[in-house]
Structure 1
Amino acid sequence: MLNSKSTCLRQKITIMKNKIIIIFLLFLSASCSESFLDNAPEDSLVVDNYYNTNEQVMSAGSPLYGYPWFYFNEKFLICVGDNYSGNSTGTYSDIAQFTLFSVNQGNQFATEGWDALYNVIGTANTLLHNLDTKVSADVDEEVIEAVRGEAYFMRATAYFYLVRTWGAVPIIHDMSQYNAEADVYRNTVEDIYTFILNDYNNAVSRVPVQRADSDAGRVIQSACNAMMAKVYLTLKDYTNAKAKAELVINSGIHGLLDNYGDVFHPRNNNSRESIFALQWVANQGWGTQNVSQAYLAASPKLTNAGDGWGTFQPSIDFQNAYEAGDLRRHETIMEPGDFYPDLVTSEGGYTVPSAGMTSTIAGWRKYVVGSKDEWADVGFMSTNLNTNIMRYAEVLLIHAEAILGSSASTTDSKALESFNAVRKRAGLANKASLTFDDILQERRMELAVEGKYWYDLARMDRTKALAILSNQERGDYNDGDYNDIITRKVTPSAGDFLLPIPGSEADLNPLLLEEPVPFDFNN
């Protein structure tokens, strides 16, 4: 059985789009020089003539950090990671589907997430092909291999999100698959994870241990090890998860920033706490910027840019999950009476109104940069704030959980050291022993609005996860009254732990509805 011609045409168009994206972003950044995203050479931007110097090859890897990920970051990551998990809510129809466990095949943001992740894969595949076929003999092998490692890393990361969100999906890894004769089936979950780990191992053997300041934010070995630690944790391979996390911890490269809120300000992009983050350029054209502030800021006064819509709101359940004294609360959600001297600075700061900001009263603070008065690189639906995919605090929590493993509790000193380092910054007391529930709670509060909590619930005991989700309050406060809740509790089913394959994809390629097949690792 062959795929339809329309499917093949779509795949070929995707490849062309990826090449155009590379040229577009390189051209876009030619006039700037603040980061590796802005270091395109000034000579020919034609792909076939592009891979002639070390600088050109390095620049060819830069688009992997932003544009292909745009619609993944725009709404999908929060919809799945935080709305689906009960951290966040939203009333817009396709967002509400995540809150209500009613995501269907036509959901706009699920489809955009699928498309974006395969766009990342297509961009990585195109780059790997070009590195094999178009590079001049004048380019240093070390440079070629470092960029090749970046492509492997990005492809692995995209597949890690795909397999956890949709389960069995097609492994597209070679240009020969983008033609009219190729059948595209889904591959087994087990083989996808093997493929992911192979790609991360291919990356870690090629990328450098550290980068120059001009290349801060590009993938280094600790990013590969951190992501592998998380993959192994997901697979319950605690021995390897611990070993990979300890490679990052013992590298001496990373550490926690002193103040939690500082992690989420663009002045601290690519700080010592950042291990892998998506990189954005503000006010340079649609698809290159971070739009999160537009949807998270709950008042247009905060941004003074025509956005600040409060599209995503902290759920009542999430608000009630904080321990007393948690310093992260003020830096994550904005509640009546809270004062922020670093926002609306033209008026001396911002105090949250007594009536609240949204139907859940609170608004999100995290990833809200403010207006041009606070940060020059702010525009309508546009900031240059990085999107955290992996940071050091999460590695510490992975390390603690890997030591706990399948035990009911642990008093291991190394597990406690890693875990309590995160709590200390949050102003919370040390714990003398740890359970999985302790770690799950800490991950929820530390990593909120970073698209993590759903994937934590999905990898735990299914009966326990269903009980947690069924008891969450996903409703609203009635007219800003804390004592009057319009309750909304939703009971998911076991089938809700994977999203349906987007209908537009299944229509184009009915083979996606067939049973998954093993992947041929020898091909």
Structure 2
Amino acid sequence: MKRILILFVLAGSMLSACNKFLETKPEDFVTPDNYYNTEADLDRALNGVYNRLVDNFGRMYSRGLFSFLSISDEFFYKNITITNLKVMDFDAGQLDVGKLWEVAYQGIDRANILLENVDKPKMDETRRKAIKGEALFLRAYFYFVLVDNFGGVPLKLKSTNNPLEKYLPRASVADVYASIVNDMKGADTLVSDISSYNYNERVTKTAVEAVLARVYLTMAGEPLKDVARYNDALIYADKVINSGKHNLNPDYSRIFINHSENKYDLQECIWEIGMYGNQLGNTQLAGAVGIENGVECTDDKIGYSTGPLKITARMFNLYAATDLRRDWAIAPYKYVTNTTTGVTTKTPYTAVQIYDRTVGKWRREYETVTPKNRNYNSTNFPVIRYSDVLLMKAEAETQVSGAPTAAAYDAVNKVRRRGYGKPINTPDATVDAPAGLDKADFLTYLQDERARELAFEGLRKHDLIRWGLYLSKMQSLAVDISTNAPSGFRYGANAAKNITARNLVFPIPNTEITVNHLVTQNPNW
């Protein structure tokens, strides 16, 4: 990570990170009995919890949660046709699914250990509260990742002290969410304000509130359908908006250029996962943002990417031609290197080359860390942005009111105006959402707007599932690609063809089922 970085080892768990500007040496092996005696000890332990959000092997936000673990109707993988998670052809023994489970529980156990020892040292109480709050939130967030992807999971709120401890059965989805909400609401009273930092990799008050709005919206949808939670989502979205701490960046592309340039935007990006370095030194906390989901390029100086994520025509056609977000989220060009001269040229796609295009949100040409590694970089990933909060407000407000209100329209239109390069706070009939929509039509419009604004940010699958639309959208996508795509790209329908009702959640990993006989498997896996 750029700021929240250490090299730290705790008995039973390797916790690794590093400082963006100051690398530290590895610590000796320690145990809770002889550790957690100083504020610095707590800071290092907390950084070890954050560390699991990166994961060296790419199953969290360094790669998987915005790519192969989030297959939706936005993209398909280039040249992968069968027997692969990337085309949804896998079983409960799939390694990446198992590692997602494992890494999330590592983060939970680290948070549990920290919370059990947070009161040990003599230190500034404000800082102690902030550390406790961040640990509570992170524990809850790891559970949110788990319940969102696996359904009900064992709810472990104490650290592992003995390998012979009894295993736990799966808690219900409702009970997991109750724990998540309890921890996040507790964190909201403890963490620091974002104005306390000049970077956004720490969990701060508005980050907690923004994610809580997302959690409540999820609870209101599938599978819980706890519609009373729409009101809670509205309350927490409004807390972020009314805080005055955030605003839309007037330049949509600049959000993602900032990530590549290692610059912070605390107004738009409420919470980011920090990556560090390029995996060429001792520090192993780099990611693959802009590589796994990058512009096709074989020139290492510009920034190598095979362009593995090909976009669907459905995604491309959601945008109007005048929507500036289209040709930023979706690359309008690739880099072609002449094998004879070695000269690399930016080559635009033609109007008919829709399926040739790749994700373009994070472009390696803007990266500042050199030399550029082919597989890793230091580009941060945004977990939640202010535009997402505005769109969540519009959705929750409409659900609570029973019809789209002026406030809901205003929230959506601010996002749309920015997308078209218009003044954010000035009504503009050429781009604003159509007036007079009823509830159903407005929510459908809003669903498309979320797709346009948050494309390729790991949220589309999540949204479709909570709206109860994932299966129907993927089934229609399979027909669309099989019928209308150029023949050379019709394999892009394979992932959608493989999706059935079982794919609303991942299987509980075989590694867990084998050792914990109290855990039951998800249906049809």
Shorter-chain TM-score range:
0.7 to 0.9
Identify if the C-alpha distance between structure 1 residues 397 and 321 changes in structure 2 by more than 3 Å, giving closer, same or farther. Answer: same
Match in the other structure for 2:105: 118
Matched, 1:293 2:277: no
The answer on 1:155 being equivalent to 2:139 is: yes
What is the aligned partner in structure 2 of residue 367 from structure 1? Answer: 362
TM-score scaled by length of structure 2: 0.80
C-alpha separation between the residues in 1 aligned to 2:387 and 2:374? 31
> Which residue in the other structure is 1:204 paired with?
188
Does 2:448 align with 1:441? yes
TM-score (structure 1 length as normaliser): 0.80
Decide which of 231, 251, 254 is 2:243's aligned counterpart: 251
**1:381 offset after TM fit, Å?**
2.2
- The one-letter amino acid paired with 1:498 is V
Whether the 8 Å CA contact 2:277–2:369 is kept in 1: the answer is no
Give the secondary-structure state (helix, strand or coil) at the position aligned to 2:397: helix
Q: Where does residue 9 of structure 1 map in the other structure?
A: none
Residue 392 of structure 2 is aligned to residue 422 of structure 1:
no
Q: Which residue of 2 aligns with 1:380?
A: 374
Task: Determine the C-alpha separation between the residues in 2 that align with 1:45 and 1:151.
Answer: 22
Task: Kindly state the Cα deviation for residue 289 of structure 1 after the two structures are TM-superposed.
Answer: 0.8
Q: Which amino acid aligns with 1:416?
A: Y
The 8 Å contact of residues 269 and 386 in structure 2, kept in 1 or not, is answered as yes
**Equivalent of residue 69 in structure 1, options 24, 34, 54:** 54
Q: Are the aligned partners of 1:290 and 1:384 in contact in 2 as well (CA < 8 Å)?
A: yes
The within-5 A match list for 1:343-358 is 350-352=346-348
Residue 247 of structure 2 aligns with an amino acid whose one-letter code is G
User: Which of 16, 19, 27 is the aligned partner of 2:11?
Assistant: 16
Shift of the alpha carbon at 1:59? 4.0
Aligned pair partner of 2:277 in 255, 262, 282: 282
Deviation, 1:91, is 4.9
User: Aligned pairs, how many?
Assistant: 476
CA contact (8 A) 1:297 1:365 kept: yes
Offset at 1:304?
Answer: 3.5
Contact 1:40–1:59 (CA under 8 A) maintained in structure 2: no
Q: Distance in 1 between matches of 2:135 and 2:371?
A: 28
Partner deviation per Cα, 1:37-92 (whole Å, 9 max, x = no partner)? x5869998956665444444334322333345323124421346642x12111157
Name the SS of the counterpart of 1:313 in structure 2: strand
Using the TM superposition, name which of 275-284 and 48-57 deviates more. Answer: 48-57
Equivalent pair of 1:223/1:275 in contact (CA under 8 Å): yes
Q: 1:109 to 1:303 in 2, by over 3 A?
A: farther
- Contact kept, 8 Å, 2:74 with 2:315, in 1: the verdict is yes
1:193 aligns with 2:193: no
Give the equivalent residue in structure 2 for 1:227.
211
Q: Aligned pair 1:395/2:389, yes or no?
A: yes
Structure 2 match to 1:3: none
> Distance between the aligned counterparts of 2:66 and 2:156, measured in 1?
26
Decide whether the 8 Å contact of 2:391 with 2:446 is kept in 1: yes
Q: Which structure features the higher share of helix residues?
A: 1
* Equivalent position SS for 2:308: coil
Identity of aligned residues (%): 25
CA distance in 2, matches of 1:263, 1:302: 24
CA 1:515 to 1:379, structure 2 compared with 1: closer, same or farther past 3 Å?
Answer: closer
- The worse-fitting range, judged by mean Cα deviation, of 227-236 and 246-255 is 227-236
1:186-214 C-alpha deviation (Å, 9 max, x unpaired): 11111000000011012111102234345
Report what 1:86 is aligned to. 73
Distance 1:42 1:100, change over 3 A: closer
Determine the C-alpha separation between the residues in 2 that align with 1:54 and 1:181: 30
Q: SS state of the match for residue 327, structure 2?
A: helix
Is 2:326 the partner of 1:329? yes
Q: State yes or no: 1:315 paired with 2:315.
A: no
- Across the aligned residues of Structure 1 and Structure 2, the Cα RMSD in angstroms comes to 3.6
Contact conserved, 1:296 with 1:309, CA < 8 A, in 2? no
The equivalences for 1:48-67 within 5 A come to 51-67=36-52
For residues 147 and 293 of structure 2, the distance between their equivalents in structure 1, rounded to whole angstroms, comes to 27
CA contact (8 A) 2:237 2:389 kept: yes
